[in-house]
Amino acid sequence: MAKLKTTFFCQNCGAQYAKWQGQCNSCKAWNTISEEVISKPEKNDWKTPSNIASRTAKSLKINDIDTAQEARLNTLDTEFNRVLGGGLVPGSLTLLGGEPGIGKSTLLLQISLKLPYKTLYVSGEESQKQIKMRAQRVHPNSKECYILTETKTQHIFKQIETLKPDIVVIDSIQTLHSDYIESSSGSISQIKECTTELIKFAKETATPVILIGHITKDGNIAGPKILEHMVDTVLQFEGDRNHVFRILRAHKNRFGSTNELGIYEMQGSGLREVSNPSEILISQKEGDLSGNAIAATLEGMRPLLIEVQALVSTAVYGTPQRSATGFNAKRLNMLLAVLEKRAGFRLGAKDVFLNITGGITVDDPAIDLAVVAAILSSNEDQALPQDYCFAAEVGLSGEIRPVQRVDQRILEAEKLGFSRIFISKFNKLGSHYKTIDVQRISKVEDLVKFLL
């Protein structure tokens, strides 16, 4: 056996050191450096068929490089395709990250079962029987999906050589281990080595590889973080485990935009693509309820109409409570102060609760106006017309500020049958709208006058 060689890795950022030290020079974290055993690989390579091994790279003029064969592989999942920028690029490495239990394995198994290509789904976490049970729930019939339960990369490559799949899915990168490295699976050196082998395989055979990567709740595991530099595309699967919606985002994409977003709903039979999220996020209610307002927000490039609910009531305790779900609590306090100072509402002695329905967290400042409208509506116990919606930011002096891509928001509201949308006076409109009345206001007081 080769002589044992050890190196020290920071478990937080992946930096490498020759000897132990207390603090990592690169990420400044304390006590994160630990020793890992590695042995010099004799032949650091995946088992290449001879025809590939003998191929040597040659430099080419950029104009002469043929992109015709780089057609993307359609995954038959509209949301997944959209986030990837139109499908899987041959030879690309995609990393899908997310908290445990969010549905990463379900999503990729479901896509593998649907794919019209020969797919190899490698799992190091579940047995073939368990995967079959899950497959029967999500998509019972599939012709071209092969399941392999294996963790050693050399064995996986052996299977790949005989099977020759068009797409490889690995669940998960933390469970893989390579013979060329001595340390245990999930350690930094193993993850780096296995990914390097997979990158080599993907680039040489033009097979797309999708990896699943775990992230712990506190984000301590460095694994996927160091991987982000190595792979072509980093996707993040997020959402609240207690809510049904899941959002797929691209954090890095070498072949497309990172603004696109995919939305899924977790059901008993797997994940369902949600092609029209606004319709689900707006609850169907009977009669008029006070404290509800609809915001026309943008998630990435997608317009999304979201319901905001507020409850304003007289405080029972000395200090009024303020609580916000899905919205920044500091921003809520700011909006309450603006209403108090600029519109003369006595909210200082009231409890205020705010909730964004559907378990979604919104960062788009365009939701401000809907929050203000919901608070006003609840405070006066006066319901807003159900076909009104709002899209503007509220400034500290009570001014209504313009937001980006306002036309896209208005179009979405029009499509869903809203009759009136409130926007900032300073937003320039790109076109005329026939069925929706665009109300342009400049101050919070204007909104109060309109609604109450």
Residue 125 identity: E
Output the smallest distance, CB 186 to ligand TYD, in A.
Answer: 15
Q: Which one, 174 or 309, has the nearer CB to ligand TYD?
A: 174
Q: Check: CB of residue 119 under 8 Å from CB of residue 167.
A: yes
Cβ of residue 183: shortest distance to ligand TYD, in angstroms? Answer: 24
Tokens of 133: 């049970």
Interaction of residue 122 with ligand TYD, rule CB under 6 A: no
For ligand TYD, the binding residue among 85, 87, 97, 98 (CB under 6 A) is 98
Q: Is 268 near ligand TYD (CB under 6 A)?
A: yes
Q: Tell me how far apart the alpha carbons of residues 345 and 98 are, in angstroms, rounded to a whole number.
A: 43
- Rounded least distance, CB 282 to ligand TYD, Å: 23
Q: Looking at residues 134 to 153 of the shown chain, list those that interact with ligand TYD (rule: CB under 6 A).
A: 134, 137-138
- The amino acid occupying position 214 is H
Binding residues among 61-120 for Mg ion as defined by CB under 5 A: 105
Shortest distance, CB of residue 271 to ligand TYD, whole angstroms?
8
Give the residue, chosen from 24, 38, 73, 102, that forms a contact with ligand TYD under the rule CB under 6 A. Answer: 102
> 208 CB contacts (<8 Å, ≥6 apart)?
73, 88, 89, 90, 91, 92, 93, 94, 167, 168, 202
The count of chain residues that interact with Mg ion, using the rule CB under 5 A, is 1
Q: Does residue 112 touch ligand TYD according to CB under 6 A? A: no
Q: Which of the listed partners (Mg ion, ligand TYD, none) does 250 bind, with a CB threshold of 5 to 8 Å by partner kind?
A: none
Does position 12 interact with Mg ion (CB under 5 A)? The reply is no
Name the minimum Å distance from CB 268 to ligand TYD. Answer: 5
CB of 115 to ligand TYD, least distance (A): 17
State the minimum distance, in angstroms, from the CB of residue 103 to ligand TYD.
4
Q: Is the Cβ of residue 173 or residue 372 nearer to ligand TYD in the bound state?
A: 173
- Using CB under 6 A, which of the segments 114-122, 133-141, 179-187, 427-435 binds ligand TYD? 133-141
Task: Work out what residue 270 binds among Mg ion, ligand TYD, none; the CB cut-off runs from 5 to 8 Å by kind.
Answer: ligand TYD
Q: Give the count of beta carbons closer than 10 Å to the beta carbon of residue 258.
A: 17
Which residue stretch of 37-45, 266-274, 305-313, 335-343 sits at the interface with ligand TYD (rule: CB under 6 A)? Answer: 266-274
- When binding is defined by CB under 6 A, the residue of 82, 104, 192, 249 that contacts ligand TYD is 104
Least gap, CB of 212 to ligand TYD (angstroms): 7
Member of 11, 92, 106, 236 binding ligand TYD (CB under 6 A)? 106
Size of the site for ligand TYD (CB under 6 A): 15
Residues 90, 124, 208, 270: which binds ligand TYD (CB under 6 A)? 270
Residue 111 interacts with ligand TYD (CB under 6 A): yes or no: no
Residue 78 contacts residue 70 (beta carbons within 8 Å): no
240-253 b/e (C-beta count within 10 Å ≥ 16 → b): beeebbbbbbbeeb
Using CB under 6 A, which of 42, 56, 68, 101 touches ligand TYD?
Answer: 101
Shortest reach from residue 98's CB to ligand TYD, in Å: 6
Measured CA to CA, the distance from residue 219 to residue 238 in angstroms comes to: 13
* Residue 103 partner contact from ligand TYD, Mg ion, none using kind-dependent CB cut-offs of 5 to 8 Å: ligand TYD
Residues that bind ligand TYD (CB under 6 A): 98, 100-106, 134, 137-138, 266, 268-270
Residues that bind Mg ion (CB under 5 A): 105
